[in-house]
Structure 1
Amino acid sequence: MEETRIVGHVGANMSFSGPNSTQERAQSAQSALAALVTNDSPDTAEKLISIGVDLWDCYRSTQKLEHLEDAVLAMRRALQLRPDGRDRPGIFNHLCVFLRDRFTHLGLLSDLGDAIDAGRRALKGTAEEDSDLCVYLNGLGNALQTRYDNIGNLDDLRYAISAYTRAVDLMSDEHPDKPALYSNLGTGYHDSFQRTGRVGDLNDAVTAYNRAVALTVDSQPDKVFYLNALGGSLRDRFERLGSLDDLEVAISMLRSAIELAPDSHSRKPMLLDKLGMTLQLRSGRLDTLDDIEEAVMAHQRAFDLLPAGHVDKSGPLSNLSLALKTRYDSTGDIEDLERVIQILRLAISTPPENHRFKPIQLGNLGNALQNRFERLGDLADLESAIQSHRRAIDLAPGNSFFLANLGIALEYRFKQLHKQEDIEAAISAKQEAVERTPERHPRLPTRLANLGGAFAIRFQFFQQSSDLENAIELLRRAVSLTPDGHPDKVYGLTNLGGALQLRFDLSHNIGDLEDAISAHRLATDLTSEDRGSRPHLLRNLAVALRSRFQHEQTQESFDAAVASFLEATDRQLGSPLQRFHIAVLCIVMFVEHPEFSSPKPLLKVYSRILSTLPEVIWIGNTLRRRYEESARVGAMVNAAVAAAIDAGDLPRALEWLEEGRALVWSQILTLRTPLHELREQHPDLANALDGFIHGMQKITPAHDMLRDTDAVHEDCSRLLPATDENADRHRYLAVKYEQLLVEIRSHAGFEEFLRPKTFEHLAASPHPPNTRVVIINVDHHRSDAIVVSSGGSVTLVPLPELTLTRARKLRSMWKAHLENSGVRKRAMIEVPSDDGQEGLRFGVILERLWVWVTYPVLQALDLMDVQQDTGNLQHITWCPTGPLMQLPLHAAGRSTRTGRVATSGARANDEEKGGEGGEGDDGEEQEGRKRTSRATRGPNGRQTPIGWWIPPTRQTREVVRPSFLPSIIPAPLPPVFASSPSAPLACLAVVVRLQRRYVAVSAVVPLSSACAASPDVAPTRSRRNRAYLRCLPARRLARTGVTLRPAAAVLGLRVLRARGRRCVGLLCHPARWRRLRACSGERPFGRK
């Protein structure tokens, strides 16, 4: 509220003469007061009035209470000396002003009451034609307004407005204090509007502020305040009436005020903050990104201008978060959303619990967390959002804004958990929000649309027809109340379209379906192409068009629905999960109606799905969350590959297999990719990327790591639970990491930096001679193996006997076999007795893998007739997908009448040959068991049911000594093993023939002179080099479920986390690994 200058009263032109400095003036005035206070001479009253005015003026400069106390004393003594003088009204007016200021300083309501009494007595003795009457009226109005601000008595506000109105009418426009009077009158009317909601009061406030601005020149310092007040009132009228002209003028007024105010002005931060809020309103109405960008800068500048620790610093901070949230809604940039949450959490932790901004900050935080749930799908964010909304309501009971937000969050939780109490509570909160919203309030249509949408959702689950009718009625009303061109109209339209479609499904009235399509189409047309909500609107339109196709069964209606589905996934807008689900809906439509579809658009949709996977399985999410999402979407990768094979597009099938197989593990490996080339050409970018990668690896939440429960030597301090701060930091680093990748790829030569490999790159990858990579794809439609040979050729091998159902059944059998074999228990386990059952089960698994998978591949590659030639060994790398990833594919084999087996690594076709690189088949027939030599029996001569046995004797150790290995290794050695000792590593597969079997021994060893001629795994036995080489198995895969922990990921993480300087990972049967380790003399698992 503006304070007018005290003019026109007796003694105003009389100032106590004295020194220039405020402190010296005050001391002189206090000394004079002490001398005069007991003086009863006739002229003492005039001197006391002058002294009192001087002391009050000093108080306004120094804010020292003693100066104000002496000013009040001087005025009261002057009244005593003038019991009936004509200057008493002026003295009472001074006393009214001084006592009001003392109330402001001390907070004593008695001072405020005395001030109002003095103001009224000033009016009593003043004639209507007195030129000072307007000044006295203003003083009384200020005192009444102050008491209203503190007590809330509406009568005080009405009397204040009446006093201001009389003062304005009495004062001429040429009077220098007329603008201040108009400003005070505008404040009174604006407060009345906020209290009563009467639009007439708001109109009168705008008129008064307009007059104040018009009567003030730019050079007047007070014009900044008048412009600010006018801009705020116009903004409020826009929010109430929705007139865009009011909003335009409000922005203009606020910009003018900011231009007039220097940076040192106390109101400059507030002006910038208010401009930012007003620009956000215009952006919401016109859907313009430029306004949001300017709003972000305005809020940031307001925050920067306030000193550290300022009580109002959290205001601009909260509004900055709101602007960033609006920008996220438009652009979908998750960095903005992460900043919003970070800012709001900081703001909430700063002010006290009862701070006036606290409820708003909590409500905005709830909205931001809800948006992150929509984007990333983490239910914990939704739970936190609901808690924030409820805390906001506790601090501001009955606030319609917070009630509406709580209803929306509860509705989202109902969609996830399907708990009826959530939808009931959501409808209750939304209904109360509607009831508390005035009839002409601009937010009323949106709240009606939200309530109608909640009724429609409840109808979908509980089929109460009254809910559907209520929904349609509310939504029609919402649409009719929303002005044309308003961006919120699309929400009412799309919800109305959804409700009408539900009624069509119920009644089959084609008119409802056509109305639904019209509503969805209009909502889509009203939304700009770069809006984040557009994919959702297009999805709703596509679903409605799909219903029309199902009714008409025409190519035209099919194509229309598909076109909308494709457009919804065309751009990276909105939630990746939403775009993924939209693409899946389109795929289902293609699959269910193949007679209307063709391969080209089908592959296009699958391409959209594959391109969305890095966003769905986002590197900024926790590892556990990424594996959960990978398990959900993995089947779509196999379906996409099958579709590409159907279309005869093998290159695309191979690319998609590479892109979608073990995506999470690929992300982990990407973070460990060497950056030598980048560091040579762009060292700054390489260092920055290294920093982000190191940060993400450092703060990865321990509970989301693939923990190796056998690694009892691990430092337990690394396994502390992650906090929200850590998770937020991880997401922030992930955003920066992705932004840096975009910058790196903008440089010449790095366009494909860390991108999935193309077919040309995969086919041209160097492979040793006689090497093939076999990637197996399993889908409900078809199963195939894609073979990439060392020459770059690609061969398709159909696997007609392998189905998704059979693969899952084999996986279940394998899991049961592991459970029954006791391999999930820690520590050493005694070899179980051979009752034959588990051996038979294991044999069935291996035989089915041989018949359905490996034999067709080997036969197609013409490897079944290859003679055993140690100089021309064939090497196959098996890359299974889906359920096959948890099966021992490398050990697949078929029992024979002679007791010998053929395995998936076989080099020969007859039953006399063993298998290269494969383990023996433990499901042999009884005749085969009898023929097994003593070398395959345990130390007590007992046949073990799960494979060959290497006895812990010197005889076994002799087998792998250097003197033995050269006799079975083809000569000459490959060049890599003949290199100099400076070469760091070599990986060697040694085929050791034990009787009629072949055993694959893999190790990573240093290239020293001792092992260059004969690779030796003995370093694992050496106490001196125990930490130099560690062999790690991927065991216990089934303990935590087969869907979240693929063998490759577990094995890789064990290798990466091992303490040894050189590590190798082995995929083998867990029981066999224990026996191998026991033979080597190492400590058993589970013991220190």
Structure 2
Amino acid sequence: MHQLTQAPGADPQCTGQEFQGKEETFAHTVITSIRATGITLGLRRLPAGFYTIVHHSGLEWRTENKRSSVKGDVVEWSGPIPIPSDQSATVCLEVYASFEFQPMLGAGEQLRKLTITVEQLSDCGEKHIPFTLFPKDGKIVSPCSSIVVTIERRSDESSDSLVSGPLCSTTNAPNVLEDATNHGHSALSRYRKHGGKRDLERSIAEFERALNTCLPNHPCRAAAQSNLATAKLILCRVEDTSAPFEIPLGLYHNALAARPVGHADRPSTLIQLAAVYLARFKKQGDEFDGARAAASLHEAMELSSTDSHENRAVSFMLQLYAGYRVGPTSGQSSVDSHSSSRLDEDPWILSAVLLKRFERYGDLADLQRAIGLLQNLVRCVAVWEDGYRAGLGSLGVALLLRFRHIGELSDLEGAISTLRDANDLTPHGHPDKPGMLNNLGDSFRARFERLGELSDLEDAISRHKDAVILMPHGHPDKPSHLNNLGLSFIARFARLGELRDLEDAISTLRDAFVLTPHRHPVKLTCLNYLGRSFIARFERIGELSDLEDVISTLRDVVVLTPHGHPDKPSRLNDLGGSFRARFERLGELRDLEDAILTFRDAVVLIPHGHPHKPSGLNNLGLSFRARFERLGELSDLEDAILTLREAVVLMPHGHPHKPSRLNNLGLSFRARFERLGELSDLEDAISLCSHSASVPIGAISDRFGASRNWILCARRMHHPSLLRAYSIAINLFPQFAWIGLSLTHRYAEVKRGAGVVREAAAAALDSGFPELAVEWLEQGHSIVWGELLQLRGSHEQLSSVHPDHARRLRELSAALDDAGATREQSLSTVSESTDDALQQDADRHRKLAIERDKLLQEIRRLPGFERFLLPKDFPQLRASAHSGPAVMLNAAETRCDVLIVLANVDHVIHVPLPGFDFQWAARLQNTLRALLGNARITRFDDRKGKLATAGGGSWESLLSTLWNGIVKPVLDALAFSTLGDLSRIFWCPTGPFVFLPIHAAGLYGTQYSSPSHKVSDFVISSYIPIASIIAQSSCPSIAPCGDLRLLFVPQPPSDGQDHLQGVARELKHISTVVGNSPSARTTLLESSVGTVEEVLGLMKDVDWVHFACHGIQDAAKSTDSGLCLANGRRLKISDIIGLSRSRGGLAFLSAYQTATGDEGLTDEAIHIAAGMLFAGYGGVIGTMWSISDWHAPVVARGVYEYLFRNGTRPDHRDAARALHEAVGRLRESGEASFATWVPFIHVGL
């Protein structure tokens, strides 16, 4: 039985005296032993010993300061302590950790405090029941799993009934040295639990006060120096500056000098000194610091027993040192052996060692064991305990590592949930907060890579940004946090293609490289990531200098990475990729040979079963196939198939990169089919590519590419899966033009799938499914405009059934519409916008788009709304065609067809064009271009054109070809007559048909003077970008009332263009017509200034608008096409669509080429007339090419005379008929050539 000892600082004169005076108040019941378990759980400082204090009746008993064994972390104290006879009296038990033995300074750190009544204590103690300890008043308490108190009742006659007296009264005040030390420990403990820097500063101040109290020869001076050094080291890590490391190093060296060999506290001091050297080594990478740390640790190992906490700490820190070092560590096997024999009994430290070893060697068994240990520990530790948060963080990281190794989605979800809890439990300002945010961001990025949900990537970037902001400048972990942010930017660039993300990635990764000290092992990692970003920029922009710099940099990285380093294979892979990129750019075979050699070296170095093995094999296989394509050696193709097949087999199910690997293998089988003609190879290619395209994981670009390869293979053998391949491609296609991108970027992305929709429609027709062909054309035609229409829809059905959802959708759609317009305007005036403003616009735009996507998914789960805002099926499209037939003209490589949708016909009227193919349509487009060139009315002329003096026969040939080949078969199928009022017809062309004047088709000449040889004899033509836009006419219309406000925008005097003399005449004609209409009450506004801002402001308020000015179709950037206004500025398409008007009305564009689109985007109707339509105008009169300044006023007068013919307020829905009449009079006058009247068209309703 151990004798109770006196506490440091206690007054020996009071020992036992007060106890003797109160002896009668104690029963013959004593505590014979106190046993505490798990008392080192979560301690951040190496304990020297542990003791307990028992309080009751105003007295205090303190047990011996004892060491504990690592086996179970159990300490038991023996010694009789009396208990009061009053059963309601309270007894307080406290467990403390001390940090020194010779002598002990201060109370140390309180681990547990338990207050209990004598009755409860007796009941639990006699039954040996561990006390369940909970925090009091929400206070977070330090770890200690349980306390078991043994109670014994003794009779008066018992020979050993004597009990020990108390050490002193609890009212005895400690001296200054002890008081300052206790306050320092208390403040430091609070800092570790809550992260408040004031507590850390208070701790340092108190420890400094304690040290100043100790004279140079004071026996407690070494302890005071160690306490201050501990707090100073934490401050170094918080403020992240290098110089202050000298302070804790000096303090620990002084303490070590006072504790020679044989001193009980020398091993712990050596370990603390090593911790400072390791911290500086991790930050600066100086091998001298690492060697000093290792030397101190080895000395500590020799001085400590094998079952001590000191020995366990040495094992752990040697493992950390091995993990920090670059290259293979000498003596690694001995360290591992030591770890196995010393650490098995400590699950906390062992799990950390196992994780570090897994990251270094990739042995899955280490990771599995670490996860098991951490899961058990988290279950055993109470939520409020300090170690619980750290355990959650480690478990989340381990689960994320296992997901990346195996690919099980449950691991990823568990990692996110666990890391989110750990982050939520970490208060703002806590030093662990940046690391928690960084790890959570990594898990979100991993889920994005797996599932493709952009919201996860946005969450990842947000967390990484917060981590970087919260991490102080100079902190050793800041470069790694910057690296992760940079990688997330690269991931978003790869997904959305926004060049700004790539620029941000390069800037962020460059910062990480600069902040990493020279010779630090992470320096090469930063340089490698920076090289990847430059490769991405080369692939996007094509600057060869970028690639040359990358190759030079990555060569250095590979050379400087020692053999055996775990990152050597990935760095070789990056270098090989840069060689292959240069081969693809320059065609030098030497680069391809270097790529193959480099990839082969990488594959050899990657252990079997390592998660990076499939990537290395994939790169090697692609390089083999590239050499086959260059040299034609079949052996290279066989090697490619073998290597790529192995990459697919090793890739776990559900891995985000598996679709691209399957597609790569499929392409290789297709290549072998092309070479050998074996049908089985083509079937294998179809199987692989279809699997790649169909799985709902991986990058959209990879899946879309796989679907196109599937299509090519299926077409070769007329495979029954062809339509399914097209269906998947079309469903993926709109995701390229995601509504969260800028308008310009969305159009650039649409170009990637040009032609797929038209070919799909042709395949559907080949298989006898014309309705499917119509649905696909509508879904894939004018994708961007269709989404803009959705944003401005009213959604009455949803409002009537689910008004709250409808309200949220309206608010989000309006905000998204506004954000898109604001962003496009900011991009158009980038010189006037700051980078931060542009980034804020982009972030807001994306977040709104993500939120709206989620709301749409929620709405589609509601009964009856499963297809809400999804592409319309044929019955819905048919119901939209009330105003007239929608005539889709499809031009595919294999065939050309017309598909007619009528409201009163339950099927598609299919009109094949057997004598008309894609090449013929393209030739007609070239013919038209030549005719316009002969007439000197070209894309770059102004509104004023000159009359054609030659080529009239060619015009007649062009228009007769359109009549005989396209229009007449359509009119025959519809059985239209020239008798009575002419019907409306809505042309919806695709491909090269977009640029052909279908509305003017006919047989012209004196021999065809009867009214039955041209399209205008039968119908009134309008053009529409998508068929569903005419659905607006089926809605009940509100009769127009009140004053019709018409805005006239003439050519301003300062637009920098040639003066248009006909504008004044045009204004005079319009003024005369509207002024002579007594019942119309029309207000004619003339824009005298003509600035973009003034015109936009007026357009919001007026009903109709008429432009008589120059127009420009911008070939470089379609959305910058526009109308020339004052000061040389344009009213751009991007400005126009931002209006979002709701009043309908007419837009008359008496300007050059206002209804001609981008030749690279024939299916997207990117022209000014379409912009007006989607801004809310019900109908638009525009031109297909430059118009005559002489004839434009004639057409305008004819249009307005017809619209105002009745003296009542005109209806914009009569504009198509008005244009038909006006152009007809011009045509029949004989004074105008084809080039002057053909360009006028009507768009819309």
Which TM class, normalised by the smaller chain length? 0.7 to 0.9
Instruction: Map residues 560-579 of structure 1 onto 2, 5 A cutoff.
Output: 560-579=684-703
Q: Is contact 2:437-2:467 (8 Å) kept?
A: yes
- Between the aligned partners of 1:489 and 1:315, the Cα distance in structure 2 is 29
| Equivalence for 1:394 | 514
Unaligned runs of 5+ in 2: 1-43, 50-64, 67-99, 108-171, 188-201, 237-243, 282-287, 1023-1060, 1081-1102, 1105-1141, 1204-1245
The answer to whether structure 1 residue 757 and structure 2 residue 872 are counterparts is yes
What amino acid is aligned across from residue 786 of structure 1 in structure 2?
A: L
| 1:610, distance to aligned residue in structure 2 (A) | 1.6
2:624 to 483, 500, 523: 500
Instruction: Supply the RMSD in Å over aligned alpha carbons.
Output: 4.6
What is the CA deviation profile of residues 77-109 of structure 1, one whole-angstrom value per residue up to 9, with x for unaligned ones? 655xxxxxxxxxx55644653674686589594
- CA displacement, residues 846-885 of structure 1 (integer Å, 9 cap, x when unaligned): 444334432332244444xx35234xx4443222222333
Residue matched to 2:888: 775
Q: Equivalents in 1 of 2:809, 2:913: separation in Å?
A: 43
Alpha carbons 2:580, 2:595 under 8 Å: kept: yes
CA distance in 1, matches of 2:733, 2:356: 45
Answer with 178-187 or 669-678: which moved more: 178-187
8 Å Cα contact 1:2-1:184 kept in structure 2 = no
TM-aligned CA deviation for residue 766 of structure 1: 6.1
Matched, 1:791 2:905: yes
> 1:237 deviation in Å?
1.0
Cα 1:585–1:753 shift into 2, 3 Å:
same
Query: Which structure dedicates a bigger proportion of its chain to helix?
Result: 1
Counterpart CA distance in 2 for 1:435 and 1:242 is 23
Are residue 120 (structure 1) and residue 279 (structure 2) matched? Answer: no
Q: Aligned partners of 1:305 and 1:748: how far apart in 2? A: 39
Residue 625 (structure 2) pairs with residue 625 (structure 1) = no
Tell me, what secondary structure is at the counterpart of 1:619?
coil
Q: What CA deviation, in whole Å up to 9, does each residue of 1:394-453 have, x standing for no partner?
A: 222562332332333333333344443333333334334434444334443333333334
Residues of 2 paired with 1:876 and 1:869: CA distance? 15
Tell me what 1:733 maps to.
848
The question of 1:134 aligning with 2:261 is answered: no
**Structure 2 residue 197 is matched with structure 1 residue 61:** no
Name which of structure 1's ranges 254-263 and 884-893 shifts more when overlaid on structure 2.
254-263
Alpha-carbon shift at residue 537 of structure 1 (Å): 0.7
Whether the 8 Å CA contact 2:573–2:602 is kept in 1: the answer is yes
Instruction: Sort the Cα spacing of 1:639 and 1:229 in 2 relative to 1 into closer, same or farther, 3 A.
Output: same
| CA distance, structure 2, for counterparts of residue 614 and residue 147 of structure 1 | 56
- Partners of 2:790 and 2:988 in 1: CA distance: 19
Instruction: Look up the match of 2:971.
Output: 858
Q: What CA distance in whole angstroms lies between the structure 2 residues aligned with 1:344 and 1:261?
A: 29
Q: Distance in 2 between matches of 1:719 and 1:647?
A: 54
1:236-251 correspondence to structure 2 within 5 Å: 236-251=356-371
Matched residue of 2:863: which SS? coil
Partner of 1:926: none
Matched, 1:345 2:445: no
Please state whether the residue corresponding to 1:792 is helix, strand or coil: coil
In the other structure, the counterpart of 1:647 is 767
Report the Cα distance in structure 2 between the residues aligned to 1:469 and 1:365, rounded to whole angstroms: 34
Structure 2 residue corresponding to 1:917, chosen from 1012, 1020, 1036: 1020
Counterpart position of 1:165: 301
Find the aligned partners of 1:708 and 1:111 in 2 and give their Cα distance: 56
Deviates more, 1:238-247 or 1:315-324: 238-247
Percent of residue pairs identical? 27
Alignment deviations for residues 227-273 of structure 1 (CA, whole Å, 9 cap, x no partner): 54332222111111222222223223434444455555455444332
Partner of 1:450: 574
Distance change >3 Å, CA 762–CA 511, structure 1 → 2: same
Q: d(CA) in 1 for partners of 2:835 and 2:822?
A: 6
2:913 aligned with 1:804: no
2:669·2:685 contact (CA, 8 Å) conserved in 1? Answer: yes
Q: Post-superposition shift, 1:699?
A: 0.4
Q: For 2:1069, what is the secondary structure of its paired residue?
A: coil
Q: Deviations over 1:464-508 (max 9, x none)?
A: 444444333333333333333333211122122122223334554
Q: How far did 1:54 drift? A: 5.2
Superposition pairs of residues 348-747 of structure 1, within 5 angstroms: 348-396=468-516, 399-589=523-713, 593=716, 597-598=717-718, 600-702=720-822, 704=824, 723-747=838-862
Q: Which runs of 5+ in 1 are unaligned?
A: 17-46, 80-89, 216-225, 710-715, 908-913, 920-943, 964-985, 988-1025, 1083-1088
**What secondary structure does 1:700 align onto?**
helix
Q: Counterparts of 1:530 and 1:14 in 2: how far apart (Å)?
A: 58
Q: For the residues of structure 2 that align with 1:68 and 1:455, how far apart are their CA atoms?
A: 59
1:313-324 aligned within 5 A: 313-324=433-444
Q: Is the 8 A contact 1:262 1:268 kept in 2?
A: yes
Residue 880 of structure 1, aligned match among 976, 982, 989: 989
Shift of 1:785: 1.4
- Counterpart AA for 1:61: S
| CA apart distance, 1:679 | 2.3
Q: Please, which of 1154, 1164, 1179 is the counterpart of residue 1037 of structure 1?
A: 1154
Structure 1 pair 385/101, CA: closer, same or farther in 2 (3 Å)?
closer
Residue 1053 in structure 1 maps to residue 1182 in structure 2: no
| Paired residues of 2:823 and 2:838 also in contact (CA < 8 A) | no
Paired with 2:707 and 2:667, the residues of 1 have a C-alpha distance of 12
The Cα shift of 1:703 comes to 6.0
8 Å CA contact retained: 2:178, 2:210: yes
Note the C-alpha offset of 1:837. 5.2
Partners in 2 of 1:345 and 1:336 — Cα distance?
Answer: 14
Q: 1:658 to 1:905 in 2, by over 3 A?
A: farther
Distance in 2 (CA, whole Å) between partners of 1:800 and 1:231 is 73
Asked if structure 2 preserves the Cα contact closer than 8 Å seen for 1:190 and 1:201, the reply is no
Native 8 Å contact 1:498 1:540 kept in 2: yes
Query: Residue 962 of structure 2 aligns with which residue?
Result: 849
CA distance in 1 between counterparts of 2:1070 and 2:265 reads: 113
Indicate the larger mover: 531-540 or 740-749: 740-749
Q: In structure 1, what is the equivalent of residue 395 of structure 2?
A: 275
Over 3 Å counting, the alpha-carbon distance change for 1:1049 and 1:574 in structure 2 is farther
Amino acid in structure 2 at the alignment position of 1:4: P
Distance (Å, rounded) in 2 between the aligned partners of 1:111 and 1:708: 56
- CA distance in structure 2 between the aligned counterparts of 1:837 and 1:823, rounded to whole angstroms: 15
Do structure 1's residue 76 and structure 2's residue 215 form an aligned pair?
yes
State the match for 1:1022 in structure 2: none
TM-score when scaled to structure 1? 0.73
Residue 892 of structure 1: aligned partner: 1001
Task: Check if 1:97 corresponds to 2:211.
Answer: no
Instruction: State the alpha-carbon separation in 2 of the partners of residues 802 and 322 from structure 1.
Output: 55
Where does residue 19 of structure 1 map in the other structure?
none
Match of 2:88 in 1: none
Identify if the C-alpha distance between structure 1 residues 604 and 903 changes in structure 2 by more than 3 Å, giving closer, same or farther: farther
1:141-163 deviations in Å (ceiling 9; x for gaps): 53465466458645542442244
Change in Cα spacing, 1:70 to 1:894, as seen in structure 2 (3 Å) is closer
CA 1:719–1:849 in structure 2 vs 1: closer, same or farther (change >3 Å)?
farther
CA contact (8 A) 2:208 2:228 kept: no
Q: Distance in 2 between matches of 1:959 and 1:235?
A: 88
Contact in 2 for aligned 1:157/1:192 (Cα 8 Å): no
* SS at 1:917 equivalent: strand
Q: Distance in 2 between matches of 1:157 and 1:707?
A: 55
How many residue pairs match? The answer is 907
Deviations 1:585-623 (A, max 9, x none): 3444456x4xxx126333333222222222222222222
Q: Which of 407-416 and 898-907 deviates more?
A: 898-907
Which structure has greater strand proportion? 2
Structure 1's 843 and 961: CA in aligned 2 closer, same or farther, altered over 3 A?
farther
**Counterpart pick for 1:285 among 405, 427, 444:** 405
